[in-house]
Amino acid sequence: MTTPQTEALHDTAKGLDADAPVDIASVLVEGQIAAATAVRAATAQIAVAAAAMARSISNGGTLHYVAAGSSGLMAAADAQELGGTFSIPATQLRIHMAGGLPTGVEMSGDTEDDVEGLEAALAGVTNRDTLITVSASGTTPYTLAAARRGKAYGATIVAIANNPGTPLLTVADHPVCLTTPPEVLSGSTRMGAGTAQKIALNMLSTLMAVRLGHVHDGMMVNLRADNMKLRARALSIVCQIARVEQSVAAAALDAAQNEVKPAILIAAKAVSQDRASEMLRQTGGNLRAALAQHA
């Protein structure tokens, strides 16, 4: 039986526990760097998968993040940041984690084999939805069962796995294989594999936001300015893009009820909130296209 890459022994790990702490730290960081570089080979697949996610959001569908264990924590973190960063509505996001999201410091390991409850959890899935399924091994029963059930409902399946040729990648419409090296701590996929998964998830959601028109010149123009830090960031974004003073940007943000895109148009084009909203409606929310319009 062939040992999966994620379970293989790292070639520098022998005698590791007897090394000096600084030498162990060096091996650990190099392991993380090597895992991160594995994502480069999957950039084309990630870009196509992100487009599918954007279509789901544009068409009123839902993104379902599905995983178990440490992969589940990575997936949940990405899903939970989409509201504040890009104002993706909570009604269009779901997290399905084996055993449920932990509320304390313990996370049960046996739940990844438990597929009961998936039928009820995914009952509302339609062909407008996308499932983002994540499993280092590519064989996690919970995640694999969810992918198969989602596909039966007509949903688009994005799969992230760290072992090539595994069942989860095979069932997916958009397989994203992150072939990370063996873990320095054998089988501890919260390390290298988890790092690569986090990078891929960040890329997927950010590329999706670009497709949705929520990014302009590297700025988050659809962020939710619901605290002091984000209000200050929103103010800076309006100033930079509209090329106005802070007082003008602040007034525009107030008029736009802290929505950055319309605030930029109000400040840059001297239009009303209603006109700014109409310009964005006409361009499908794309700020660059809206800025190119006549006021």
Q: What is the pLDDT of residues 51-98, one digit of tens each?
A: 999 999 999 999 999 999 999 999 999 999 999 999 999 999 999 999
Domain with CATH 1.10.8.1080 in the chain: 215-291
The span from the first CA to the last CA of the chain, in angstroms, equals 67
Among 7, 30, 81, 278, the one annotated catalytic: 81
In CATH, the architecture of 21-211 is: 3-Layer(aba) Sandwich (3.40)
Q: Among 5-14, 154-163, 264-273, which stretch is predicted with the lowest mean pLDDT? A: 5-14
Phi-psi region of 270 (alpha: psi -120 to 50; beta: other; left: phi over 0): left
Q: What is the pLDDT of residue 110?
A: 65
Among 112, 119, 259, 278, the one annotated catalytic: 112
Domain with CATH 3.40.50.10490 in the chain: 21-211
Strand, coil or helix: what is 67? Answer: strand
- Dihedral angle computed from the Cα positions of residues 147, 89, 76 and 116, in that order, rounded to the nearest 10 degrees: -40
Q: What is the pLDDT of residue 194?
A: 93
pLDDT digits (tens, 9 = 90+) for 228-271: 999 999 999 999 999 999 999 999 999 999 999 999 999 999 99
**Catalytic-residue membership of 106:** no
In CATH, the architecture of 215-291 is: Orthogonal Bundle (1.10)
Query: Nearest-CA neighbor of 115 among 82, 140, 80?
Result: 140
pTM for the full predicted model: 0.91
* Over residues 9-32, mean pLDDT: 86
Beta-bridge mates of residue 158: 132, 174
Query: Nearest-CA neighbor of 47 among 243, 281, 203, 153?
Result: 203
Sequence-separated (6 or more) residues with CB below 8 Å from residue 223: 84, 85, 86, 87, 230, 233, 234, 237, 260
Beta-bridge mates of residue 159: 133, 175
Residue 74 and residue 201 in contact, taking contact as beta carbons nearer than 8 Å: yes
Q: How confident is the prediction for the chain on average, in pLDDT?
A: 92
